[in-house]
Structure 1
Amino acid sequence: MTPRHERRYSKLLRVARVRDDGWLPQYEAARQLDIAVFRVGVLIACGHLVPTENASGSAGVTITSVQAEKTWRANATYRVKALRLLKDTVGFF
């Protein structure tokens, strides 16, 4: 089995490659958002984080999408967060 930090999206998704200064590995995005790595995958699937690869092809997310998610989490009301959860749940099924 391939270690998580060496996994790539190329077999699953078509994603753009970005320079290393515009990319974060999923575990670092999870740390910055204070969530589990699994939740980063859910946020990618729901379209809230943008998947990308760095120059060496390692999977991750864009720094701008992580910053946008942090800002949204800091400013969203409980009602808005609940509506987003409902929308994401319905969209999943």
Structure 2
Amino acid sequence: MKRWIDDLPQIPFRYRDLPPDGPWMTMEEAGTHLGIGHYHMNALTAVTHRIDMVRTTGKELAVTRASVEAEKHWRTTATVRQKLWRLFKDILKNSL
């Protein structure tokens, strides 16, 4: 499986039928799990691509549990320096 630079799993965006209790969760559930709001969740998925997304065949967005758990683990274990470096890289990447 491909990984991001900061070692989070990368799962390709695609359409698929999602099982009801499978390895997926809605954007709202993921935001609640991470303790962030809707805007920040959208930034993690759309701008920084830290959380992997899939679309159901009904065109609804869902996120992978693996990427949400990896993000939660990174947030709890990363040092302040790592968090600042990640912020700097994201700002630099999105400004170009």
Query: Under TM normalisation by the shorter chain, which class is it?
Result: 0.7 to 0.9
Q: Report the TM-score, using the length of structure 1 for normalisation.
A: 0.77
RMSD: 1.7
More helix by share: 1
Match of residue 38 from structure 2? 37
Match of residue 70 from structure 2? 68
Q: 1:63 to 1:55 in 2, by over 3 A?
A: farther
Partner amino acid, structure 1, of 2:71: E
Match of residue 11 from structure 1? none
Match of residue 22 from structure 1? 23
Maintained 8 Å contact 1:22/1:62: yes
Match of residue 92 from structure 2? 90
Quick one: distance in 2 between partners of 1:42 and 1:74? Answer: 19
Q: Report the TM-score, using the length of structure 2 for normalisation.
A: 0.74
| Corresponding residue SS for 1:53 | strand
Quick one: distance in 2 between partners of 1:23 and 1:91? Answer: 28
Quick one: distance in 2 between partners of 1:18 and 1:81? Answer: 35
Structure 1 residue runs of 5 or longer lacking an equivalent are 1-13
| Corresponding residue SS for 2:50 | coil
Report the count of equivalent residues. Answer: 80
Percentage of pairs with the same residue: 30
Quick one: distance in 1 between partners of 2:17 and 2:86? Answer: 28
